[in-house]
Chain A
Amino acid sequence: MTREEIIAEINAELAEEFEIDEATITPDAPIYQTLELDSLSLVDLIGIVQTKYGVLISKTELPNIKTFAQLYDYIEQHQK
């Protein structure tokens, strides 16, 4: 999957699953605020990425993913 394909797919998926306007998802937007994540729904985000791409975001790397661009990077680097 190309980066563009990942971005299009994950943005649509996150907007649908977290019930937000897809237009609010931009590369530099903060993930936590945009998706209205708390410690519980953060796990839902990890679940979506794992189900969709087979990519499990590890506990140690989680704090490094703050923006959508960083999420795209992570998926692109770890996808199987």
Chain B
Amino acid sequence: MHDVLIIGSGLGGLECGALLAQRGLRVLVLEGSNQPGGCMQSFRRGGLHYDTGLHYVGGLASGQAMHKAFAQLGLMDLPWQRMDEDFDHVIIGGRHFAFHQGYEAFVEGLAKDFPHQREALQSFVQRLQNITAEDMDVCAYDYLCQTFSDELLLNVVSAAAMKTELRRESLPLFNFAHTCSSYIESSWRLRGDGNLLVNKLIDTIKEAGGEVRTNSRVVRLTEDDGRITKAICADGTTYEAGYFISDIHPAVLCQLLEECPSVRKAFRRRMTSGENTCGMFTAQLSIKPDTLRYFGHNVFVYDKPNVWTMTEENDPVKGVMISARVPEDESETLRQIDLLTPMPWYECQAWTETKVGHRGEDYKDLCQRKTEQCITLAEQYIPDLRSKIETCYTSTPLTYRDYLGSPEGGAFGLRKDCRASMLSFHSVNTPLPNLLLTGQSVILPGIEGVTMTAFETCNKIIQDNAR
């Protein structure tokens, strides 16, 4: 019998596991696939490690938003490397802009290019620092239109927000602000792959007496007297626990709850009818040795100032994020860069019935075409990038769906909608008092959002136990 059983070992699941194990609770994390970590996991090919979803983290300097949380989780021991002072570069229509770390420097940097918008920039960073739950009801795009009269600047300040799904009609300011603010405070990359983070959390869980089991897919939860009592895995193994935390997509959780009488149809309907966010196309490039100098900033390249409409139709590719990986041997040249661009699920429709490695030539052609388009855009910043590429691995929303169990390959979980915030932002509570939610679909996506949610989820259990 465990105190807490966690379904899913994504960042949120492992963070909950670590936090509760540190509190002396007996924790068991069950992962359905053969590798823990969800979006944080990395894979090895040709002697190099490639990351799935980890690119950079904001607010890790002492006193900033994420520092305290990561310190508590033991993650500040990892080799974080502060990015360049100008941490995000934006190229739109051939014009080059930079975001600088620190709110004042951010304003001053952009005010050089947009002197007539200095006050608007100051107002913008003020707002970023004062975001409240009420901003879940505020439309981010409308707010930006009201704040910036210069349309190019509106696009520039939004250009690095590829960490969420930019949708004009629905994205809440709450989400937009959280994907900007901590990075402006300070931006960091990990010297090493995402598995460092995953393994650190697993070590914390194990050192405190907990366990993480892979190849343990939960297929059913059973209820007795208004509480979940058992998790039953695909191989028939049954686990009992006092609390259960779901770090899987809420729609997938509902499939496990089919025999639970306390979960009424109305709850199932709300959890299964939410729309998923768009996915991402990623071209992961290994670069020939000594051909490209490492750069400690991200670059976002767009053909035109259409940052907010790109996710609706991104074929051909209209914008790309270039993320360089910190050289682990402290060399001045890099070996890997990722090119990322949003990819809506409808572009994957022809292959929804296929599995990894068996999607056919048409799919390979699609990936090839998208890669070429991404490289063409990236060459606005890295001239002659093509000639420097050694190998290229691609992933699409189908890859996310098949490896990570994310419905429709959504990169940011369930979509949040400022027009219906009560329906799209979820509580960590469920109709069963000992079943709680965590992960990117609940409140906010991204490393910061998932970490904030993990603390909220754990606080419920900690408060319960204190009673």
A contacts, CB < 8 Å to B: 16-19, 39-41, 43-48, 50-51, 56, 59
Contacts and interface: CB of A to CB of B under 8 A. Distances in A.
B265 A19 contact: yes
B419 A17 contact: no
A56 B419 contact: yes
A18 B266 CA distance: 6
Contacts of B430: 40
Contacts of A45: 266
B431 to A, nearest CB: 6
Contacts of A40: 267, 427, 429-431
B431 A17 contact: no
Nearest 8 interchain pairs by C-beta: A44-B266, A17-B266, A47-B270, A17-B265, A19-B264, A47-B423, A44-B270, A44-B267
Interface string B119-151: 000000000000000000000000000000000
B234 interface: no
B304 to A, nearest CB: 34
A51 B269 CA distance: 10
A17 B269 contact: yes
A50 B269 contact: no
Question: Max chain A CB contacts within 10 Å: which of B264, B266, B429?
Answer: B266
A39 B431 CA distance: 10
A51 B87 CA distance: 43
Interface in B217-275: 264-267, 269-270, 273
Given A41-B264, A41-B266, 18 more contacts: A17-B264, A17-B266, A18-B265, A18-B266, A19-B264, A39-B427, A40-B429, A41-B431, A43-B423, A44-B264, A44-B267, A44-B269, A45-B266, A46-B423, A47-B266, A48-B269, A50-B423, A51-B273
B78 interface: no
B420 interface: yes
A59 B265 contact: no
Nearest to B423: A47
Interface string B266-298: 110110010000000000000000000000000
Contacts of B420: 50, 56
18 contacts: A17-B264, A18-B264, A19-B265, A40-B267, A40-B427, A40-B429, A40-B430, A41-B267, A43-B270, A43-B427, A44-B270, A46-B422, A46-B423, A47-B266, A47-B270, A47-B273, A51-B269, A51-B273
Contacts of A48: 266, 269
Nearest to A38: B431
B251 to A, nearest CB: 14
Nearest to A37: B266
A32 B427 CA distance: 19
Question: Max chain B CB contacts within 10 Å: which of A16, A17, A41, A44?
Answer: A44
A41 B423 CA distance: 11
A78 to B, nearest CB: 14
Contacts of B419: 56
Nearest to B270: A47
A43 B431 CA distance: 12
Contacts of B266: 17-18, 41, 44-45, 47-48
A44 B270 CA distance: 6
Interface in B419-453: 419-420, 422-423, 427, 429-431
